[in-house]
Chain A
Amino acid sequence: MSFSSLLLQQTINGLSLGAMYALLALGFTLIYGILELINFSHFNVFMVGSFIAMWTLQSFGLSGQSIILTGLPLVGVLLAAFAVTMLASGTLGVVIERVSLRPLRGITGPAAMITTIGVSYILFNIILVTVGADAKNFPNPLPPMRWHVDGAVLELREVLIWVVSLVLMAGLWLFVQKSRLGKAMRATAQDPEAARMMGVDVDRVIMTAFFLGSALAGAGGLIFGLYYNFTSFIIGFTAGLRAFTAAVLGGIGNVPGAMVGGILIGLIEAYGGQFIATEWADVIIFSILVLVLVFRPAGLFGRLAPSKS
């Protein structure tokens, strides 16, 4: 392969990984923007999401990569799988907030953050104990369609990942910018007390942020399965940490920043793996994180803390 086709190939791979990190990074950013809370349970909501996706696909009679669907059945199964996974993951996020975080509201200090680490471990261990430690084969009903472009290979699953991620991110963007509840979310992130005095029910806004963030993490979990053809109880940490890095890179609290940050991290991982070495991917990613934090503490696009002005 020539250098330019390698570059193109890794751009394709990087965009797919990046789309997944971006979906996951949005959850960190939505919740941080409103609560100034780093929600570590998000790592494993993503992991649980990929299991929910796997079970959903299995419930349609799919297993492994041997059963291929095309046309309407494929579209229907995928739509249903995304819908069920996102609803269930979103609900999981809402339950986590309601049970473990709302009682801590108003308590300053690290209590809430530590709680999210605890919840993350609980989810991790529930899956470990009930499902087991071995990696599970993830059903993939996509036909093996592929296109050759300038020496690089573009597979159907990558196109699917891009389209789904684009639709979800555009949907989130529209929701946050245009809907009444979305505007209440932005207002709450910018000045929670003033938002309350406009009549905003802040608990409802927080619940919405958890639902949306967790639903997107679930979609990310489904994409992970389709991309790697497996899932496991362990996948939350690496992907979660990279997505968190993406959110910080884009400026945590900043929605478009998380999208761009996710894509950047995906591309860095792909290029680094190709041109340096896969084992060095995390070293490169986190070195970039450190550099960004040293030189631009508020991330590439700014907004560290909700402004209280």
Chain B
Amino acid sequence: MLLEFNDIDTYYGDLHVLKKVNYSIEAGEIVSLLGGNACGKSTTMKTIMGVVRPARGTVIFDGQPIEKLPTSERVKRGIAPVLEARRLFPRMTVFENLEMGAYLRKRGAEFDQDLDRVYSLFPRVKERRNQVAGTLSGGEQQMVAMGRALMARPRLLCMDEPSMGLSPIFVDQVFDIIQQINKQGTTIFMVEQNANMALSIAHRAYVLQTGQVVLSGSAAELRRNPMIREAYLGEMQVPAA
């Protein structure tokens, strides 16, 4: 198991957001986290990264508890985020944003290799490397956000709604690249509202509802599940005659 949540409870003040949540993600998987607005998907990501601390429960990464570690230590151990709404550093250049992704790593041959890899996955990012990130289009920003996360050479990539605000063609491209990154050996935990797309590339998925995991299983199973079809895949159940 690469990442495990064991009975995690997370609060913002009195607001109980994650309620005894359990996830487990194997190395090499793409696991998707589905759920409606405000159910705690981003809070899950923040709990993994350690910018939000759980009140109870343990987070295990690579066999070790990490829930008390500072964020920088988690990044060092190989967890990198692609944040909701990109969250690039808007007044820094594209290249500087990529550098920030590799903040805890030494400059040198490995850095150059990773930069080449990002540039070959996203030729557009290379073209725009000297542009100020705040002036990029939404799609370009998404590519930089993914590139920035890859610069950390992560073992686990935590993506929060990578398809948000992108055109359908671009969503296809992004999901292709996510699959490619996964095949190159990076485990992916991906929050999505676009359940259709998410279930088309994920191996497994969890469904979160008001802070509780209400369903989980293989992507194929979930695609057939009537509740999922109705709630997330935009299909109405045919009423019994």
Contacts and interface: CB of A to CB of B under 8 A. Distances in A.
Interface of A: 180, 183-184, 186-187, 190-191, 193-201, 307, 309
Contacts of A195: 89, 100
B83 A201 contact: no
A108 to B, nearest CB: 12
22 contacts: A183-B92, A183-B100, A184-B100, A186-B92, A187-B92, A190-B89, A190-B90, A191-B87, A191-B90, A193-B87, A194-B83, A196-B51, A196-B71, A197-B51, A197-B83, A199-B71, A199-B103, A199-B152, A200-B100, A200-B103, A307-B90, A309-B134
A187 B51 contact: no
B89 A197 contact: no
Interface residues of B, number: 24
B129 interface: no
Interface in B47-95: 49, 51, 70-72, 75-76, 81, 83, 87-92
Q: Which of B81, B87, B89, B92 has the most CB of A within 10 A?
A: B89
Given A197-B75, A199-B76, A187 B100 contact: yes
Given A183-B99, A199-B72, A200-B72, A193 B51 contact: yes
Contacts of A180: 103
Nearest to A186: B92
Given A198-B75, A199-B75, A200-B72, A184 B89 contact: no
B104 interface: yes
B90 A198 contact: no
Interface of B: 49, 51, 70-72, 75-76, 81, 83, 87-92, 96, 99-101, 103-104, 134, 148, 152
A200 B71 CA distance: 8
A187 B90 CA distance: 9
Nearest to A203: B70
Nearest to B104: A199
A199 B152 CA distance: 10
A194 B49 CA distance: 10
A187 B88 CA distance: 9
B146 to A, nearest CB: 14
Contacts of B71: 196-197, 199
Contact of A186 (B76, B89, B134): B89
The list of the 4 closest CB pairs from A to B, nearest first, reads A199-B75, A199-B104, A199-B72, A194-B87
A199 B102 CA distance: 9
A186 B91 contact: yes
Contacts of B99: 183
A202 B87 CA distance: 17
A194 B89 contact: yes
B100 A309 contact: no
A106 to B, nearest CB: 12
Contacts of B100: 183-184, 187, 195, 198, 200
Contacts of A190: 89-92
Contacts of A198: 75, 100-101, 103-104, 148, 152
A180 B100 CA distance: 9
